[in-house]
Structure formats: structure tokens, C-alpha cells
Chain A
Amino acid sequence: MAQVPEGGGDSGGKGKRRAKKANTHIDMTPMVDLAFLLLTFFILTTTMYKPSSLQMTYPVPPPPDAPPPPPTQLSNAITLLLTKNDQIFYYLGEFRDQPTEKGPPTTLERTDFSKVQKLLVDQNKATIAQLNDVARQFNEKKITEDEYNAKRKEIKGTKENLKAIIKTDKDARYRNMIDMVDEMDISGIGSYGVLDTLKAAEQVLLDIEKAKL
């Protein structure tokens, strides 16, 4: 497509010698092709790679000569046992080997990551209602961000709220634990702990359930 100037100024005869009117048009098509090719390449290969992070705070282990801490109130706790194939088993309240006045011996219920959110939200309705209430006040600009964060913290820290104990057995994956910590945040559970050991009695029950998988 390059345009070549046709017939110069020299038209024969004795006519004035006119300066050549060179055609200054350069065909830009190949250059534009190349530019767009590069542009497309860079746009397509650029991925917005943004890792994020979960801030974790683990309790500082007590010094060996410290007195044992007082037993935690577990009546409002849910214990979640994470195990192979992304399965979760759970029980509510304290673990009971034997029937006591509080109820029959503990049995494990089975759930998984698609259902556990509903379970936790159902168990923690009162707290979530409070959190939503504060969030609404914040959205309507009745309280400042600092007040909002302080109130959230206060609501989440209430002792009567649902607590969660996350325990992993030897077949659980790291992903499972991260997902579970995420669920804690979604369902407004402020106090939870992650342990990688099970009580012997829990392990026995879990092994029976795992055998059924």
C-alpha cells in the first residue's frame, strides 16, 4: 500500500524546473499493527496479582511454672473437628463421655464447608443481629468509624456469645483451617481457638465417623 509518488515534477519541455513535491505520506499500517499487537500482549499477560493476608494472633504460651488457667466455660461453645475430604464434624457444649445431668453422651454431627456457615449463623443469631445493627448505624453515619470498630469489638468479645474451638486431625489440610477461620469472621464469632490435637475420646468418635465416609 505504500504510495510511491508518480511522475516527478519533470514534465519535459523547457518548463520551469519545479521542486519535487515529494509525497510525505508514510504508510503507518504495519507500525500500528505492531503497536496494537504489543498492547494486546501486555494487557493480556498482566494479571493483577495481589496476595492478601490473614493476621493471626496466637496466645503466648504460659511459662512452665505458671498455675494452670481456670477452665473455660464451654456451655456456649461449638467444637468443630476438621478431617479428611473437607469434612467437618461438630458437637455443641462440653464433651461428655458419660450421660450426666446436663445431657446424654456427646455424638458427632457431620457437615461440610457448604453448610457450616448456615449452622454457625443459626447458632449465633443474636450476635449477628447486634453486629448488623451497629453496621446500619455506621452506614447511616450516626456513629464514627472508631466507634463502629470499638462497638464491633465489644459485641464480639461478649462472654455469652458462641465460642468456637477448631480442632484438626491428622488428615486435615491447611486450606480447611483457613476456610474455617474465614467462617468465624463471617458469622461474627470473636473468640475461637485452633488446636491440632484432639482428646483421646474425641479421636475415637471421629475415627468411627471417618470409617463411614
Chain B
Amino acid sequence: MSKIKMPKSSPNLDMTPMVDLAFLLVTFFMLTAQFRPEEAVAVDTPSSMSQSPIPMTNMMTIVVDTTGKVFWDFTDKGVRIAVLEELGKRVNYVPTEEEKIKFVNAGPIGVPIQDLKALLSLETGSERKEFMAQHEGIPMDSTNNQLRDWIMITRNIFYNDAGQNPVVALKADGNTVYNRVAEVIRTFQSPGIQISKFKMITDLEASRI
């Protein structure tokens, strides 16, 4: 009985199309991926059913973290620098070019105006984070409501530039005591600002993803 001879063909597959595709996908993901910037403030926003998106430009965000500290953030570079210069005038502080760049890239800022200089003299992001952790955020007491100054200056600068008001968003941690958030909203409504329309930033409810 003769054995059936197995054909001795080499099992070589042409892998070229697969490799092409693999590299195409790799390139796509590498080019489109944006690493999420390290959050200077950890905020776990509550989830809601609302699906309306938030704008990526021209938006002022007031951030409230779990402990109730208040931070200010703005999306656009030019406005950020102008706000820093304007706030600096109040405490006789003229920021250097280097400090302006740091301010632009710093994300949410939460220190009293008089401590801005000390904050921006620090070199690294983690040092600034540490510095802000030791401070009480932007003061919002009735006698010294600096949050009001921040908002008013931002709005004035933006309005002079663009002829309209910026979008205002409130980003608060789900576990913040509501009364603290209500204080921010009262500041929004205080005379001279009177923001009655704003966005509350939420995560999409898990069931909707």
C-alpha cells in the first residue's frame, strides 16, 4: 500500500494586505489619538440623560471639586492671557512671557488672585497641582467674592473681542454638597453678571453609551 503523499507545499500566506491594513489602522489611531491631559483637578461629574454636546471653544468653565473648591478655566489662549494680565493689575503683578505660557497650559486655575504670582513661579505641573491643593480655591465669600471678578473680567475681555458673551459651563463633582454649587449659581446671578443660562457638564448615562 502506498502512502498518500501529502503535497509538500509551504503554508506561506501572502500577509501583505493584512500588514497594510494593520499599519493603516495603527497610523490612524496614532494620529487621531489625543492623550487626555492630566487633570489638574479631579472631578467626577454626575451622569445625565442629556445628550447635548459641549463646545470646544469660547467656553468659560467654573469647576467645583468634591471639597467645594472653585476653579476657573477658559478654552482659548488669547483670552486666558488677557485675563491674567487684567487680574495681575489688581495686585500689581506683571506676568513674564514664560509665566503667561504656563498660565495658558495650566488648565483650571484655583488660587486667590494674590497667590497667582507664587503659583506661576513654580516650574512643573505637579508642583502647581500641589500648590493649588494647599489653597482654598478661588474665594467666594460675600466680602471677598473673587469668583465674581474672574467671571466679570473674562466676560468683558471676551465681549470686547468677539462682540458676544462666552458660553458658561458649570462642572461640579457629583459628591459636592449642593449648597456650595448653589453659591456659585448665586454668583452667576449676582448684579453685574446675571448669567441665567449656562450648561451643567455631565457624563452620558451609562445606559446611553
For B50, B189, B205, which residue has the most chain A Cβ atoms within 10 angstroms? B50
Asked if residues B50 and A54 are in contact (CB atoms below 8 Å), the reply is: yes
Stretch at the interface among B69-77, B80-88, B144-152, B168-176: B168-176
Q: Tell me if B201 is interfacial: C-beta within 8 Å of chain A.
A: yes
Q: Tell me if A103 is interfacial: C-beta within 8 Å of chain B.
A: no
List, in ascending order, chain A residues with CB within 8 A of B201's CB.
Answer: 51-53
CB proximity to B under 8 Å, residues A82-134: 82
Asked if residues B15 and A174 are in contact (CB atoms below 8 Å), the reply is: no
A52 to B189, CA, bound (A): 23
User: How far, in Å, is A46 (CB) from chain B's closest CB?
Assistant: 6
With contacts A53-B169, A53-B202 known, is A173 near B176, CB below 8 A?
A: yes
- Total A residues in contact with B, Cβ cutoff 8 Å: 42
Interface 0/1 of A178-200, CB less than 8 Å to B: 11011001100000000010000
List, in ascending order, chain A residues with CB within 8 A of B202's CB.
Answer: 51-54, 178
| Dominant SS among interface residues on chain B | mixed
Asked if residues A57 and B177 are in contact (CB atoms below 8 Å), the reply is: no
With contacts A35-B22, A196-B182 known, is A172 near B203, CB below 8 A?
A: no
Residue pairs across A and B with Cβ atoms less than 8 A apart, 27 shown, are: A32-B22, A38-B30, A42-B33, A45-B33, A50-B204, A52-B52, A52-B203, A53-B50, A53-B199, A53-B201, A53-B202, A54-B202, A56-B199, A57-B197, A58-B189, A58-B196, A59-B196, A60-B194, A82-B178, A168-B178, A170-B177, A172-B177, A172-B179, A174-B46, A174-B175, A181-B48, A182-B50
The chain B residues found within 8 Å of chain A, CB to CB, are 15, 18-19, 22-23, 25-26, 29-30, 33, 36, 45-54, 64, 169, 172-179, 181-182, 185, 188-189, 194, 196-205, 209
